[in-house]
Structure 1
């Protein structure tokens, strides 16, 4: 297959590129050559590339900035997805699209199911909800996967930020009343491709699923586990796990509201595709086992 991967240089895209390689030729154009911020131009670009599979891992993910840049957030996260999905439907091409746990308001008090009504609290979540709805309504064979709390062996995520702060400071403060499941991009990429293969073979199973590791924690609990595991592996830290101070969300104000609890119920994904999610602590250990410092 000729696979078009958008967002190939991003956090999730980097993990997807090798995972998708087993399906065929992976084309991952740079943003300048395939700009999701210009949705009206995408059909012509797709006509030129003629992919046999579209995997959309690109997104506008600056949650706070989106509050003041709604037009761009919706252009990338909603309008561009609509353009991709409509082209895929017209040409009989499957589509894989990644959405977010931030489509929920975090008020359920239990892991969120696919059947639960989304109620995003911020522009980012609203734009991602509009995008997933466009994909599902397009008529394309679409696999839409909600993920959250993603990290990987690259800069620009909570794990990398915590390792840097823990190495630089004697004390670190982290929000303790927001809950979710840290999920590494390597697992997401492997599980997504396994599900896609199953859908392609059966030409069934398309739709909306939650995909995450198992277990749950707070941002503070996540930071403490990072410090504990990093210390056990001899990574240079100034701040010990006991010196990570829990904060209330009210004491760490942000431009965009964050949901309090976006744990995802992944039982539908497991029942459909036979992929059991690994515990997040075990996956964190695997990522740290191969951790190497980033160039400065």
Structure 2
């Protein structure tokens, strides 16, 4: 089994390299070796690599910058996944792809199910939704995992931003009226590996299970709650931490609108695969204690 992973330098791609290595011959690529924005070259390069499974962890994730780089965001998040799906269909192999809570408009206070109406608020969300639709139209052997608030010990993410700011900030203002579930990148990769392992054991796996699944940490938090827990754990480790102040989204304007409610309902994942992620606070403790 030859497993192609795109985006190996990203948070999820890095973890996938570890998690999937025991399930096959892993081929990892980054923007230097497989640039998803060069869509005219993509199909040919993937064919040369001759994978038996494509796991697309590459994406354009600069949410605010996407407002001014719509064409690039569309190429990477929508057109490239379509091409990967078309290659997968032609080769009769499965495709695994990652999407986002940003496909929803963030209204209400209930967790979003996979069947809920999508209505993205920004360019990033619209391009990710376009990628989902393109995949489902192009192939019938696929899994799309929507996740949220991804973080880990490495890479650019909220955890590492807070740890960096704690070095020289005495006070910090953090948004408290956006709700979601922090999700450890390693858990995303480990769930992916367990699902791939299940696919090896079921001849009709892709006929039964192809579709969209939500995959996020259990529980809920605001960005303020997330920061507060990070600094609580840092303080326990003897670090100095800033004093936190809650602010509203209106107090912290950004080029791209954010959904107020990013909670994802993970019941379908549990029903189909018997898998569920731990509470986000437990995962954060593991990451910050060095269990990574």
TM-score bracket relative to the smaller structure: over 0.9
Structure 2 residue aligned with 1:112 = 112
For residue 38 of structure 1, report the CA deviation from its aligned partner.
1.2
Within-5 A mapping of 1:65-214: 65-202=65-202, 203=205, 204-214=208-218
Moved more, 32-41 or 69-78: 32-41
CA distance in 1, matches of 2:98, 2:105: 18
Contact kept, 8 Å, 1:92 with 1:140, in 2: the verdict is no
Note the residue ranges of structure 1 that are not aligned, 5 or more in a row.
none
Note the residue ranges of structure 2 that are not aligned, 5 or more in a row.
none
Contact kept, 8 Å, 1:142 with 1:207, in 2: the verdict is yes
1:218 aligns to 2:222 (yes or no): yes
CA distance in 2, matches of 1:282, 1:27: 32
Matched residue SS, 2:106: coil
Q: TM-score normalised to the size of structure 2?
A: 0.96
Contact kept, 8 Å, 1:199 with 1:205, in 2: the verdict is no
CA RMSD of aligned residues (A): 1.2
CA distance in 2, matches of 1:29, 1:214: 31
Summarize deviations over 1:84-138 as a string: whole Å, max 9, x none. Answer: 0000011111110000000001003200000101100000000000001111221
Contact kept, 8 Å, 1:86 with 1:140, in 2: the verdict is no
**Aligned counterpart for 1:227 among listed residues 227, 231, 235:** 231
Structure 1 residue aligned with 2:60 = 60
Q: Which stretches of structure 1, 4 residues or longer, exceed 4 Å deviation after superposition?
A: none
CA distance in 1, matches of 2:37, 2:201: 33
CA distance in 2, matches of 1:138, 1:116: 22
Matched residue SS, 2:144: strand
1:44 aligns to 2:44 (yes or no): yes
